[in-house]
Amino acid sequence: MAGVATPLPPCSITEIPRGTPKEGVPPVVEFKGVTKTFNANTSKAFTAIRDVTFSVEDVEGHGEFVAILGPSGCGKSTVLRQIAGLAPHHPPTRGEVLLAGKPITGPGPDRGMVFQDYTSFDNRTVLDNVAFGLECRGIAQKERYELAKEWIAKVKLNPVKDAYKYPHQLSGGMRQRVAIARTLILKPRVILMDEPFGALDPATRHNMQDLLIELWREVQATVFFITHDVNEAVFLGDRCYIFSNSPGTIIHQFRISPPDRPARHIMREKSFLETVYHVREILDGLEEGKT
Ligand SMILES: Nc1ncnc2c1ncn2[C@@H]1O[C@H](COP(=O)(O)OP(=O)(O)OP(=O)(O)O)[C@@H](O)[C@H]1O
Ligand SMILES: [Mg+2]
């Protein structure tokens, strides 16, 4: 059923009130019947996503955390890159992608992106990487360095010792902290994260998840977070979309209670494990249906 999102069985998944969307204010992000066919009208035409429809409302004082799950190749990154306004994923072949009610026309400072591969500039120090966006905005050196040091500390790096290191002198977890600081320092309205912790070991990953929740609460941005890790999606998301096999469309969406304790505690609880079990069943079913 194209474009029809259904809730999961009730189990431990709670419908949580999130406050009322601001009256007369358009959703932060809205997809209306979006289809993307790469190389359309050629013999290589390939439809990656089909009829994707969803809407993330603008709620007073609460940026939503949207986790996206789905089999490999179902079009998750395509959806994220459309929100980022990056070609060739943007523009869609059919349908509309709206940001605050307006069609997206390309990348913009209101959206920040963090990828799995560490995307810092190798020839810049941590300080200059974190301050990069402010430099592009023409902020004077003293002011941008002050703010960058604040953000280096917020992502739990050392603003004295780590600030003058180069990316090759950092661990994978440290480099992702730099990427997060570099994005959040610009206070984007929407943060797009494509498997940002995919390359990290489990303990580092838990620490990064806790850190992300802490910072997200502070900046109150809307986050779209792609992951293959069901635990991570259920822990981080207040809402989760599950995409079908290719061409991807949303086949399930549900709300989850917000994380109120550290990842390593919540992830051992019965209700959490039951939710993960249900979601995994759906994803396993999709993987089996692939062949
Ligand atoms: N620029 C492109 N040109 C042609 N096909 C593309 C292009 N980008 C992506 N695709 C195809 O579109 C489909 C969806 O790709 P996408 O990267 O969005 O999947 P994904 O769900 O993010 O996968 P994964 O979980 O493996 O990262 C894939 O079959 C991919 O090969
Ligand atoms: Mg991807």
Region of poorest pLDDT, from 5-19, 23-37, 135-149, 258-272: 5-19
CA of 75 to the centre of ligand 2 (A): 7
Nearest CA to ligand 1 atom 24: 72
Ligand 1 pocket residue status of 74, Cβ below 6 Å: yes
Average pLDDT, the chain: 89
Ligand 1 pocket residue status of 117, Cβ below 6 Å: no
- Triad 165, 166, 168: Cα angle to 5°: 120
Nearest CA to ligand 1 atom 16: 75
DSSP code string of 122-150? TTS-HHHHHTHHHHHTT--HHHHHHHHHH
Ligand 1 pocket residue status of 88, Cβ below 6 Å: yes
Residues ≥6 apart with Cβ < 8 Å to 106: 85, 90
Nearest to 248 by CA among 30, 39, 77: 77
253-260 long-range CB contacts below 8 Å, 24 or more apart? Answer: 253/5, 253/6, 253/7, 253/54, 254/7, 254/8, 254/13, 255/13, 255/14, 255/15, 255/16, 255/18, 256/13, 256/14, 257/14, 257/16, 258/16, 258/65, 259/213, 259/235
User: Residue 202, Cβ neighbours under 10 Å: how many?
Assistant: 12
Q: Mind listing the pLDDT tens digit for each residue in 67-114?
A: 999 999 999 999 999 999 999 999 999 999 999 999 999 999 999 999
| Domain ranges, ordered by start, for the chain | 29-110+188-288
| 55 DSSP β-pair partners | 30
Instruction: Flag whether pLDDT at 43 surpasses 50.
Output: yes
Q: What is the reported pLDDT for 2?
A: 45
Task: Choose from 244-248, 260-264, 266-270 the range with maximum mean pLDDT.
Answer: 244-248
What sign does the dihedral 197-203-204-207 (CA atoms) show? positive
Task: Choose from 90-99, 169-178, 258-267 the range with maximum mean pLDDT.
Answer: 90-99
Ligand 1 pocket residue status of 46, Cβ below 6 Å: yes
Instruction: Flag whether pLDDT at 264 surpasses 90.
Output: no
Instruction: Report the nearest atom of ligand 1 relative to the CA of 74.
Output: 21
Q: Mind listing the pLDDT tens digit for each residue in 200-241?
A: 898 999 999 999 999 998 888 999 999 999 999 999 998 999
Nearest CA to ligand 1 atom 14: 75
Q: What is the reported pLDDT for 289?
A: 79
Residue from 74, 225, 232 whose mutation best tests the ligand 1 pocket (most atoms within 8 A of CB): 74
Residue from 44, 52, 76, 290 whose mutation best tests the ligand 1 pocket (most atoms within 8 A of CB): 76
| 40 DSSP β-pair partners | none
Tell me the C-alpha distance between 1 and 261, whole Å.
Answer: 37
Q: What is the reported pLDDT for 19?
A: 62
Query: 111 near 83, Cβ under 8 Å?
Result: yes
Ligand 1 pocket residue status of 33, Cβ below 6 Å: no
Q: Is 251 helix (H, G, I), strand (E, B) or coil?
A: strand
Tally helices (H) and strands (E) across the chain: 9, 10
User: Residue 75, Cβ neighbours under 10 Å: how many?
Assistant: 27
Q: Mind listing the pLDDT tens digit for each residue in 109-133?
A: 999 999 877 678 999 999 999 999 9
CA of 271 to the centre of ligand 1 (A): 33
pLDDT band at residue 14 under the 50/70/90 scheme: very low
CATH class of 29-110+188-288: alpha beta
